[in-house]
Homo-oligomer: A and B are copies of this chain.
Amino acid sequence: MERRNTVQRKIILETLKRLNNHPTTEELYAEIQKGYPTISKTTVYRNLRLLTQSGLVRRVSVPDGPERYEGQPEPHYHFRCSICGGVFDVDIPVISDIDARVAQKYGFDVSGHDIMFHGVCNKCKQM
């Protein structure tokens, strides 16, 4: 399955990188519509899946809500506010040794890990 470089795909990836949120498909679609009203929602869904498979995009699964995506695929962690639902990047050093530790203890082939912190964000704290 070769992969083509369509204009839609380029716009979707560019917009995702520009937003720098962790938008849901709907949110990204809404943003894309402003500039390119002919791109369909189906195409956004489809390309986010393909781009995730290609490793150009990262999917962030959060409880109680649709999948979110980000255009920055380098490993890093996340924080989710349990009040407003917002998702933020957490840039602390990636814990390097635990993957090997889990691999050794369980025998799994560990390719990586995700960490989701939870609590209350700054905005929601002052309410």
Query: How far is the CB of A80 from the nearest CB of chain B, in Å?
Result: 10
Instruction: State whether B117 touches A113 (Cβ < 8 A).
Output: yes
* Oligomeric state, in copies: 2
Query: How far is the CB of A125 from the nearest CB of chain B, in Å?
Result: 6
Interface string of A50-71 (1 = CB under 8 A from B): 0000000001011100010000
For the side of the interface on A, what is the size category? Answer: 35 or more
Contact among B62, B107, B120 for A108, CB-based, below 8 A: B120
Instruction: State whether A119 touches B111 (Cβ < 8 A).
Output: yes
Is A30 in contact with chain B by the CB < 8 A criterion?
no
6 interchain pairs (CB within 8 A)? A63-B67, A81-B108, A103-B119, A110-B118, A113-B115, A116-B116
With a cutoff of 8 Å between Cβ atoms, the chain B residues found around residue A107 in the complex are 122, 125
